[in-house]
Amino acid sequence: MSKILTPQDQTTQYVDWGLSTVPLVSHGKTPLLEALPLVHGRPSWKPYQTKAATTEDVGLWYANYGPDMGGTGLNIGLVTGYPGALCLYVVDIDGPVIPESLAACHTTTVQTGRPGGGFHLYFKGPQSLPSGRYTIDGTSCEFKGVGSYVVAPVSVHASGTAYTFIEERGLSAIKDLPGVLMKQLEAQFMSDIPKGRGPNIKGRACLEQMWVRTLKGPCGSDPGERELTIYGFYQVLQTAGHNEAYARLWTEKKNAVCVPPMTDRELLKITMRGPEAKRPGHAYGVSCPWVQRNLPWVDCKGCHYADREALHMVNAYELEQVQRGMSPAVFSVYIALVRQESNTGIRVLSLSELQEETGLSKPTIIAARQTLRDKGLLPR
């Protein structure tokens, strides 16, 4: 015969799963102020966003406020986005119907007791995803991320109906965030770039393109693109002069919105080695040649650093020959050809390719190529 769990037992199970719990008022959603820790002299539930309550804390809540002990009673909340063993996120649906794309996940689902119907769908995912509102299959849903919480089973809605797991899907049935939701989270995450919330790319066009590119796992994209891009992003941030901690932080944020993201173990393999420039036999970090060779979709047009990288590839005498008395048009053609040589080993581009690379007219390019031939910098 199975044991009937008391509310305290079930709340303790949440703690054992690595979740962060919050005491709430009986039949309500607001924090139970008397039971909260003090922050600057005022009760606050925010400490539970970074440090979970212990089983001893839970015991005190029920001893002081549980109805069996003569208290006023209490509900329990679960902190979403808490970086514990299980990073919980919840999709909150106010209505009687779960969107088909989410129902197909068969994840842990809670019926909220809201009159007219309501559901909480539990998912696990990477850290640091923000809260927001999204539309899934035409239904508006609230995504509970960092800085939020939901009322958990063991609690009772204001209507008098208990919050309950449906179809016996307990915490062990929690699934990963589905692709349909991750894509929307990614779109929202990347839309913050114009507001200055992305990394400092220091004028490098490749970093900006890596940041905004949608990256999918091995089954949903070119083999290895996600891994190569994440590695390049981490390394080029350091090539741009950022420290390892800064590069690691933004790499984790970029990975968080991949579909699906790399696991913590996979990501650690990329970041634990530090900048490539520190590795034996490597004088420089990852820069233009690596990016152009491994990420062919990156467009270097207009990037000052791409041109400067090309200058490092030629010897000082040749560069002096080009710069002495050369027009800007000749120099632009020369840089385009040197960059091509770094990628293919051949300093050759067609007339149309040079037009596309430099934006110059055909007569100007023809004249520039002749000047370079006269200087011995191009074969006749």
More confident residue, 210 or 379: 210
Spatial contact of 11 and 54, defined as CB atoms under 8 Å apart: no
Spatial contact of 110 and 122, defined as CB atoms under 8 Å apart: yes
Residue 314 has a pLDDT of: 55
Q: Please list the alpha-helical segments (H only) found in 3-54.
A: 7-16
The pLDDT of residue 291 is above 80: yes
Alpha carbons 24 and 45: distance in angstroms, whole number: 10
Residue 342 has a pLDDT of: 62
pLDDT band at 1 (very low <50, low <70, confident <90, very high): very low
Residue 204 has a pLDDT of: 84
pLDDT > 70: what percent of the chain? 83
Alpha carbons 240 and 233: distance in angstroms, whole number: 10
The pLDDT of residue 219 is above 70: no
The pLDDT of residue 263 is above 80: yes
pLDDT tens-digit readout, 310-347: 555 555 556 556 566 677 788 788 878 877 766 665 67
99: its two tokens: 């969107």
Residue 195 has a pLDDT of: 43
Please, what is the end-to-end C-alpha distance for the chain in angstroms?
92
Indicate the domain borders of the chain.
7-177, 192-294, 313-374
Average of per-residue pLDDT values in the chain: 83
Alpha carbons 230 and 261: distance in angstroms, whole number: 10
The pLDDT of residue 80 is above 60: yes
Highest mean pLDDT among 8-22, 166-180, 185-199: 8-22
Spatial contact of 224 and 274, defined as CB atoms under 8 Å apart: no
The pLDDT of residue 266 is above 90: no
* 133 HSE (CA, 13 A, CB side): 5
Q: Taking residues 235-260, what's their average pLDDT?
A: 85
More confident residue, 368 or 218: 368
Cα 310 from chain centroid (whole Å): 32
Lowest mean pLDDT across 16-25, 63-72, 142-151, 182-191 = 182-191
The pLDDT of residue 277 is above 90: no
Lowest mean pLDDT across 9-18, 89-98, 153-162, 206-215 = 206-215
- Residue 130's alpha-carbon distances to 14, 91, 185, in angstroms, are 22, 12, 8
The pLDDT of residue 192 is above 70: no
Q: What share of the chain is helix, strand, coil (3-state, %, to 5)?
A: 45, 15, 40
Lowest mean pLDDT across 74-88, 191-205, 237-251, 305-319 = 305-319
Q: Taking residues 165-185, what's their average pLDDT?
A: 85
Spatial contact of 310 and 334, defined as CB atoms under 8 Å apart: no
The pLDDT of residue 255 is above 90: no
Residue 194 has a pLDDT of: 43
Spatial contact of 231 and 290, defined as CB atoms under 8 Å apart: no
